[in-house]
Structure 1
Amino acid sequence: MLRMNTTLRPMSCAARRGAARALSKAAQDYAVTPYRLIAHASESQRAAWAERDLILHSEMRKHVPAALKHNGEEAFDHHLVGVQSVLRSWGAPEYMTNAALFHSIYGTEGFQGFALPLHHRPEIADLIGPRAERLAWIFCMVDRHSVDRTILAPWALDPSVYVHKPPSFFARPELGGFEIPLRTYDEWLDFLALSLADWLEQVEGTANKEVPLPVGEGLLWELGQAWGYRRHAYAKMAELLGERGPPWGRQNAPRMYAEIFAREPQSSRSFVQPLTPPMSQSAIDARNALKYAHMAYDVA
């Protein structure tokens, strides 16, 4: 079992500096950089986070090979730490920042280069806490279009709708499309915050290059097109979090969204890609199965 050790020996100065670098990677001059660096935090706060993260980051890297590349420009484990840093810069609680660090651990709709087998769920929950693990699990299982339907619904800004009856998401088709009922309105908002932080951390870097399809020939995104991925949904997430989100995200999430997307060039602002392209052969097969499930001649 993976367990947090609460009796860590004090870190050496060199180890503390290394952990601080891992907390927030120095990258190119992107709008996200101050968030990755948690620029507003004091040195003592950064040192405390580095101490706390020593085991978490070590365990994360055991399960996510550093050689894997994410859709962005840097190693996948750096992206995970980057999302953790973004949420810390927003003032998010620990269960959210822990979820961020493991948000793709089981593979996701958008990243299937690595997936920890699901029988490890209890171990991950033991390591980061059940609430954080559940958010990470949902992030990995979910069909993102089912998330976007809850966001873009006309009643999404009316809290009376989801407060009393939280919405459901659905799993990716290749996983069976099972229902994922959310437990509370707050869990829905937490998931939106995690989703938005994940994309804001990587979108500018991803948009600055061509991204090949993970299966087959051709490009997933031409230069600049990543800006348009789920464009309306991410804009709505920022709006929802600004109006209805938890206190720690109510100003920070929409402000960061505005800062990041202010960097988008005019040339890509009309491009919209509402759905995630299939990232594996199993995803292609599942979508084809749904597409061709009802033919005209099937009717009795």
Structure 2
Amino acid sequence: MTAEALAILQAAGAEEIEHPGGTLLAHLKRVSALLAAWGARPALVSAGLCHAFYGTDGFPVALLDLGRRAELVEAIGVEAEALVYFYASCDRTSSYRGLTDDAGAFVDRFTGTHTHPSLAARRDFAELTAANELDIAAISPEARSRHGADLLGLFTRWRPLLSEPAWAHCRTVLGRSDR
């Protein structure tokens, strides 16, 4: 975790924003730590720490306006910030179902642009999504009860994109041990 990224998170009030398991800042730190535990490269670990900076399709609170992307680039680097933008930009309804397909469309919710991301980009996205959702499911029995079956279905479909550690954690948190 970079000191600059943590300073921006604190300045943006991430310590005061409620989130399952405490605060948004606590969640972001757990997601980053989970990615590190799975052996993710540093840029993805940094993206995990900062994945909510621009809000997401499922969490609309933005800590930074998109016009301030350069500040995040300065704190975590170009590659990690691009991962944060890619994650935040996802129109989930339009993009999730085709994520494992090379020809599947990824829709940017900010611009409406349809793209066909590389396999590496789709793997990073799936890994970050798994870390985010599994942290919430692990920390909140209510969220796990309400969304666990759907998450297991999603991550089972995305299995080709997930690392072995991410898939093992998915099975542990969501209760499936047969694969």
User: The TM-score by the shorter chain falls in which range?
Assistant: 0.7 to 0.9
Matches within 5 A, 1:1-300: 53-70=2-19, 72-151=20-99, 156=100, 162=102, 167-172=104-109, 175=110, 178-206=112-140, 208-209=141-142, 224-237=145-158, 239-241=159-161, 249=163, 251-262=164-175
Q: How far 1:235 moved relative to its partner?
A: 2.3
Aligned-residue RMSD, C-alpha:
2.3
Could you report, residue by residue, the CA deviation over 1:74-112 in whole angstroms, capped at 9, with x for unpaired residues?
A: 100110010000000011111000111110101111112
Kindly provide the amino acid, as one letter, of the partner of residue 55 in structure 2: G
Kindly provide the amino acid, as one letter, of the partner of residue 81 in structure 1: K
1:64 to 1:168, Cα distance in 2 relative to 1, 3 A: farther
Instruction: Output the CA distance in 1 between the equivalents of 2:116 and 2:68.
Output: 22
Give structure 2 stretches of 5+ with no counterpart: none
Q: How far 1:182 moved relative to its partner?
A: 4.5
In the alignment of these two chains, the number of paired residues is 176
Give structure 1 stretches of 5+ with no counterpart: 1-51, 210-220, 264-300
Instruction: Output the CA distance in 2 between the equivalents of 1:225 and 1:121.
Output: 34
Identity in percent:
22
1:129 to 1:53, Cα distance in 2 relative to 1, 3 A: closer
8 Å contact from structure 1 (residues 69, 75) kept in 2: yes
- Residue 44 of structure 1 aligns with which residue? none
Q: How far 1:65 moved relative to its partner?
A: 3.1
Instruction: Output the CA distance in 2 between the equivalents of 1:65 and 1:205.
Output: 18
Secondary structure in structure 2 of the residue aligned to 1:113: coil
Kindly provide the amino acid, as one letter, of the partner of residue 41 in structure 2: P
Query: Over alpha carbons, which structure has the higher Rg?
Result: 1
Q: How far 1:129 moved relative to its partner?
A: 1.4
Could you report, residue by residue, the CA deviation over 1:100-145 in whole angstroms, capped at 9, with x for unpaired residues?
A: 1110101111112334111111221122112211111121121112
- Residue 21 of structure 1 aligns with which residue? none
Instruction: Output the CA distance in 2 between the equivalents of 1:87 and 1:147.
Output: 22
Secondary structure in structure 1 of the residue aligned to 2:18: coil
Instruction: Output the CA distance in 1 between the equivalents of 2:96 and 2:63.
Output: 23
Could you report, residue by residue, the CA deviation over 1:154-192 in whole angstroms, capped at 9, with x for unpaired residues?
A: xx4xxxx62xx6x431133xx45x124255221111111
Structure 1 residue ranges (4+ consecutive) displaced by more than 6 angstroms after TM superposition: none
Kindly provide the amino acid, as one letter, of the partner of residue 80 in structure 1: L
TM-score (norm 1): 0.53
Q: How far 1:231 moved relative to its partner?
A: 4.1
1:255 to 1:76, Cα distance in 2 relative to 1, 3 A: same
8 Å contact from structure 1 (residues 88, 97) kept in 2: yes
Instruction: Output the CA distance in 2 between the equivalents of 1:113 and 1:55.
Output: 20
